[in-house]
Amino acid sequence: ETGVTQTPRHLVMGMTNKKSLKCEQHLGHNAMYWYKQSAKKPLELMFVYSLEERVENNSVPSRFSPECPNSSHLFLHLHTLQPEDSALYLCASSQVFNRGADTQYFGPGTRLTVL
Amino acid sequence: AQSVTQLDSQVPVFEEAPVELRCNYSSSVSVYLFWYVQYPNQGLQLLLKYLSGSTLVKGINGFEAEFNKSQTSFHLRKPSVHISDTAEYFCAVSDPGYSSASKIIFGSGTRLSIRP
Question: What averages of pLDDT result for each successive group of 10 residues across chain B (116 residues)?
Answer: 89 97 88 94 94 92 95 96 96 77 85 94
Q: Which pLDDT score is estimated for A51?
A: 79
The pLDDT score that the predictor gives to residue B98 is 64
> Residue range A11-38: average pLDDT?
94
Q: Residue A1: pLDDT band by 50, 70, 90 thresholds?
A: low
Q: Is the pLDDT of residue A76 over 70?
A: yes
What confidence score (pLDDT) does residue B99 get? 61
Local structure of B29: helix, strand or coil: coil
Interface contact B52, partner A, CB < 8 A: no
Closest-CA residue of B relative to A40 is: B108
Contact (Cβ atoms closer than 8 angstroms) between residue A64 and residue A58:
no
For A20, residues 6+ apart whose C-beta sits below 8 A from its C-beta are A75, A76, A77, A78
Q: What is the pLDDT of residue B1?
A: 72
| Range 33-62 of A in CB contact (< 8 A) with B | 33, 40-43, 45, 48-51, 55-56
pLDDT above 90 covers what percent of chain A? Answer: 71
- Classify each residue of A76-90 as buried b or exposed e, where b means 16 or more C-beta atoms within 10 Å of its C-beta: bebeebeeebbbbbb
Name the pLDDT band for A57 (thresholds 50, 70, 90). Answer: confident
A88 CA: distance to closest CA in chain B (Å):
10
Between B96 and A12, where is the model more confident? A12
Distance set, CA B40 to CA A31, A51, A70, B11, B44 (Å): 26, 31, 30, 16, 10
A/B interface, count of CB pairs below 8 Å: 84
* Whether A5 contacts chain B with CB within 8 A: no
Neighbours of B43 (CB within 10 A): 22
Q: Cα–Cα distance between B103 and A2 in angstroms, integer? A: 24
Query: Which of A17-21, A44-48, B27-31, B106-110 shows the lowest mean pLDDT across its residues?
Result: B27-31
Is residue A100 within 8 A of residue B94, CB to CB? The reply is yes
Taking Cα atoms as reference points, which of A104, A91, A82 lies closest to residue A16?
A: A82
Q: What is the mean pLDDT of residues A51-70?
A: 86
Predicted pLDDT at B25: 94
Query: Is residue B44 within 8 Å of B54, Cβ to Cβ?
Result: no
Average pLDDT over residues A53-68: 86
What DSSP character marks residue B25?
A: E
Mean pLDDT of A101-112: 93
What DSSP string describes A17-69?
A: -EEEEEEEE-S--SEEEEEEE-TTS--EEEEEEETTEEEEE-S--TTEEEEEE
